[in-house]
Structure 1
Amino acid sequence: MNISWDAEGYERGFSFVPAYGAGVIDLIDVRPGEKCLDLGCGNGTLTAELAARGLAAFGMDASPEMAALARERHPELRFEVGDATSFSLDEPVDVVFSNAMLHWIDARLQPSALACVAAALRTGGQFVFECGGHGCGERIHAALARAFAARGLDYVMPFYFPTIAGYAPLVEAAGLRVTDAFLFDRPTRLEGPDGMADWIRMFVKRPFEGLGAGLADELIAAAVDDLRTDSNLLRDGAWYADYVRLRMRAVRVA
């Protein structure tokens, strides 16, 4: 799951990630003063929003670079480095919140992550999250797969994008009761004329591991050229990512 992040580049060019995440917070039944873990907190923008809404929020991220940036941006809040598939807390919290993190975890490790979430919550505590859902980035990943195949390479999908029907049973097997679940398209505008190439470089890292920089650039350029004819992704000179989001709220029952 862990990758090395260009934390400040992420903050500059991809601020839409926490911006959209603010809407996920609306799904929390907020009770002022309750303890909230922002799991996969990134640069801490949403941790600060959770605190502004009255929660005693703190953040955790697997990336030391992101945690350091969060501390720099929000010195009044606490941020820790921790892996979502193996973390534990000294005492339970009332809310675990997560935005755009779970899809980074391999399918085989999803039960471990959900078990950690359940263990971190008090009975009756809320787990509210959004992640990529089934079909997210489908056109982009298909173009990358074609570019890899044309050069005799295999493209291995680096994300886990579940359906509601596939994920809700995993959540409930961890001891949580799903109360709300949504799967929806959210085309997302990317910044600048090179927005698609920049998006691939920022987020699609694992398939390029072990490849030289020159070959990586060639593959990205080929995929971007392929996508230029897709009017869903390039409209009026602006690039869009074909995002699909899975949003859920669940409550710990025991």
Structure 2
Amino acid sequence: MNNLPLLDNNWNTDLYEDKHAFVWQYGENLLKVLNPKLGESILDLGCGTGQLTEKIAQAGAEVTGIDRASSMIETARQNYPHLRFDVADARDFQVLKPLDAVFSNAVLHWIKEADAAIASIHQALKPGGRFVAEFGGKGNIQAIVTALYSALEAIAISPQALNPWYFPSIGEYATLLEQQGFDVTYATLFARPTPLTEGEAGMANWLEMFADVFLAGLSADQKIQIIRTVEEHLLPTLYQQGNWTADYRRIRIVAIKL
């Protein structure tokens, strides 16, 4: 694994597991698409704290979980000590022998170098092996991003350079896959409004978990101000009956290595 430049989110695994369980709970639906079988070799790419890795193992597959965040891997190993978890980067990981499948849930929108990730996934698979993924697609969290940009620009901070996310269209991502030797057999982009936990604190928790790179350089007072401004901007559209909803749009892909 090499140290390619990347704006790192500061992953708080306690906050992730306590307040953001929806990340893997929604991912359970993607496991039906993967349909893991007894004896298959499968990689869970960006496994987080390991919940979906364990589900794949329960189907009888030989599964390994990898994640770039060492804090996630440490917690995954504590959660599921019988499974293998390694720290590795989606853009340049290696496997010892070709796999039947690579699975990835809610990860690839963190990787702007999509070509590098696709190349790594391709080399990891057997011919005929499948890549099954879901992540943020075009228009994902558009309302939140707009509010966040506006709040930061109001205090003379340019947010574009801080943005860690990659939200492609179906056409864009399918083309990248085809250019590197995949046959895209399924692709869809869909709205998935996602309720956040903790009532009134839901949006603040989400921002602290997933938009940390935008807030990291701010003073404590500035951080509070930005979060409050974002909440005020989003209140009419994403807050109802005491609860926040994130305006997620997801892209789901199945591709076969030729």
Q: Secondary structure at the match of 2:192?
A: strand
Counterpart residue number, 2:204: 197
Equivalenced residues, count:
249
* TM value normalised by structure 2: 0.93
Alignment of 1:141 onto 2:145 = yes
Q: Any stretches of 5+ residues in structure 1 without a counterpart? A: none
Alignment of 1:225 onto 2:232 = yes
Q: Secondary structure at the match of 1:86?
A: coil
Q: CA deviation at 1:91?
A: 1.1
Give, in whole Å, the separation in 1 of the partners of 2:225 and 2:24: 30
Alignment of 1:18 onto 2:30 = no
Give, in whole Å, the separation in 1 of the partners of 2:59 and 2:254: 18
Contact 2:9–2:211 (CA<8 Å) still a contact in 1?
A: no
Give, in whole Å, the separation in 2 of the partners of 1:29 and 1:242: 28
Q: Any stretches of 5+ residues in structure 2 without a counterpart? A: 1-5
Counterpart residue number, 2:117: 113
The counterpart of 1:74, out of the listed 67, 74, 80, is 80
Give, in whole Å, the separation in 1 of the partners of 2:48 and 2:233: 31
Give, in whole Å, the separation in 2 of the partners of 1:160 and 1:171: 15
Counterpart residue number, 1:161: 167
Contact 2:37–2:59 (CA<8 Å) still a contact in 1?
A: no
Runs of 4+ in structure 1 over 3 Å off: none
Q: How do residues 1-254 of structure 1 correspond to structure 2 at under 5 angstroms?
A: 1=6, 2-106=8-112, 109-156=113-160, 157-192=163-198, 193-230=200-237, 233-253=238-258
Give, in whole Å, the separation in 2 of the partners of 1:13 and 1:35: 31
Q: Secondary structure at the match of 2:247?
A: strand
Q: Secondary structure at the match of 1:26?
A: helix
Q: CA deviation at 1:158?
A: 2.6
Give, in whole Å, the separation in 2 of the partners of 1:31 and 1:124: 15
Give, in whole Å, the separation in 1 of the partners of 2:126 and 2:195: 38
Give, in whole Å, the separation in 1 of the partners of 2:128 and 2:232: 50
* TM value normalised by structure 1: 0.95
Q: Deviations over 1:41-65 (max 9, x none)?
A: 0010000011112211110000110
Give, in whole Å, the separation in 2 of the partners of 1:84 and 1:158: 15
Q: Secondary structure at the match of 2:64?
A: strand
Contact 2:122–2:180 (CA<8 Å) still a contact in 1?
A: yes
Deviates more, 1:167-176 or 1:212-221: 212-221
